[in-house]
Amino acid sequence: MNKHNSIRNQAWECDLRSDTFTSPDEGMRTAMATAIVGDDVYGEDPTVNLLEKRLASLLGKEEGVFFPSGTQSNLSAVMAHCGRGEEIIVGKNYHVYWDEASGASVLAGISLWPVETGKDGSISPSSVEKAIKEDDPHHASSRLLCLENTVGGKAISLKKMQDVSYIARKNNLSIHLDGARFFNAVTALSCKPEELANCADSVSICLSKGLGTPLGTVLVGSSKFIRKARRNRKILGGSMRQVGVVAAAGHYALDYNISSLAEDHKRAEYFAKELRGMDIGHVESGTNMVFFTPLDGQTEKLRSHLEKYSVKIGDQKPSIRMVLHRDISDDSLEKAINGFKTFYK
């Protein structure tokens, strides 16, 4: 939990909109301020180089490359896997398909083939098999399977990840894993980072979600793949200079913030249990997320009521997504629970 409110410009005491609403705490800021830096475009920033190596080795891959955002990391990855006229098979609710403005199509001539996902966010092996196109000049060429874990807070089991990647590999597809919340998944599945990463050829890991850095994503994969992805980062304008100041936040997050993800998960479970106990709507939860669909559909009124308690929720409908993160303490969560109670009393 971030105890350094004095250096945060946080409008809300309990901001449940996303785990991107964390602010770097004092320890992280000190690490950033004292980072040894160099020009990363020349490959001379030791703090960046070490972070790339560190995550690659943790996930059992050859190399890594540092990006300003998860979106750019995913796009550089799919551009490294696919050429123009090639196709990505991807979950229809996955970020790469739904939330990245079709960058792969707009900028790289890659088509996206969305498939249904299960309740746990997984793609079944049979839907991958069905989505693979015949080698026919009329069709795009199926080239890549894009996975995600966690999906909407749900951690997809290792077995399901392994089964779907087995089918993809059998059919000569490459596999990219959008692991924006990779360590939430690893925490929930109680597995080794390498075990989950083995299900894919490349993995994108965001440091700016539950891990609490202000920005930064590391993409890992084989040396040949990372070389292409680094070139794509240049094309997309994402190469940075003395960015060790940000990579230092990443090192700090890996040192100190992975272990507290389990606390966010516990708080989400507790929050979901409290909401279920009020019998006011449908509640689902997984890792650090809670989804609440109010029976009365009074989302707008609920939102303005909660604001009086300094609690902020998003504007999704009909189901409101609420995300626990390191800037939400037990006390601030109690404020939210109390806000719900007083609204529905």
The residue ranges that bind ligand PLP (CB under 6 A) are 69-71, 95, 148, 178, 180, 206, 208, 217
**Residue sitting closest to ligand PLP (CB):** 70
Three-state secondary structure of the chain: CCCCHHHCCCCCCEECCCCCCCCCCHHHHHHHHCCCCCCHHHCCCHHHHHHHHHHHHHCCCCEEEEECCHHHHHHHHHHHHCCCCEEEEEECCCHHHHCCCCHHHHHHCCEEEEECCCCCCCCCHHHHHHHCCCCCCCCCEEEEEEEECCECCECCCHHHHHHHHHHHHHCCCEEEEEECCHHHHHHHHCCCHHHHHCCCCEEEEECCCCCCCCCCEEEEECHHHHHHHHHHHHHCCCCCCCCHHHHHHHHHHHHHCCCCHHHHHHHHHHHHHHHHHHCCEEEEEECCEEEEEECCCCHHHHHHHHHCCCEECCCCCCCEEEECCCCCCHHHHHHHHHHHHHHHC
Instruction: Using the minimum distance from each CB to ligand PLP, give the nearer residue, 298 or 319.
Output: 319
Q: How far is the CB of 74 from ligand PLP (least distance, A)?
A: 6
Q: How far is the CB of 91 from ligand PLP (least distance, A)?
A: 10
Q: How far is the CB of 209 from ligand PLP (least distance, A)?
A: 7
In the numeric block, which tokens belong to residue 178? 């959008």
Q: How far is the CB of 315 from ligand PLP (least distance, A)?
A: 16
Q: How far is the CB of 44 from ligand PLP (least distance, A)?
A: 25
Instruction: Using the minimum distance from each CB to ligand PLP, give the nearer residue, 219 or 337.
Output: 219
| Residue 262 φ/ψ, nearest 5 degrees | -60, -35
Q: How far is the CB of 136 from ligand PLP (least distance, A)?
A: 32
Instruction: Using the minimum distance from each CB to ligand PLP, give the nearer residue, 35 or 211.
Output: 211
Instruction: Using the minimum distance from each CB to ligand PLP, give the nearer residue, 153 or 339.
Output: 153
Q: How far is the CB of 151 from ligand PLP (least distance, A)?
A: 7
Instruction: Using the minimum distance from each CB to ligand PLP, give the nearer residue, 78 or 337.
Output: 78
Instruction: Using the minimum distance from each CB to ligand PLP, give the nearer residue, 148 or 201.
Output: 148
Instruction: Using the minimum distance from each CB to ligand PLP, give the nearer residue, 128 or 206.
Output: 206
In the numeric block, which tokens belong to residue 310? 């300094």
Instruction: Using the minimum distance from each CB to ligand PLP, give the nearer residue, 112 or 180.
Output: 180
**Tokens 């799919």 sit on residue:** 78
Q: How far is the CB of 294 from ligand PLP (least distance, A)?
A: 24
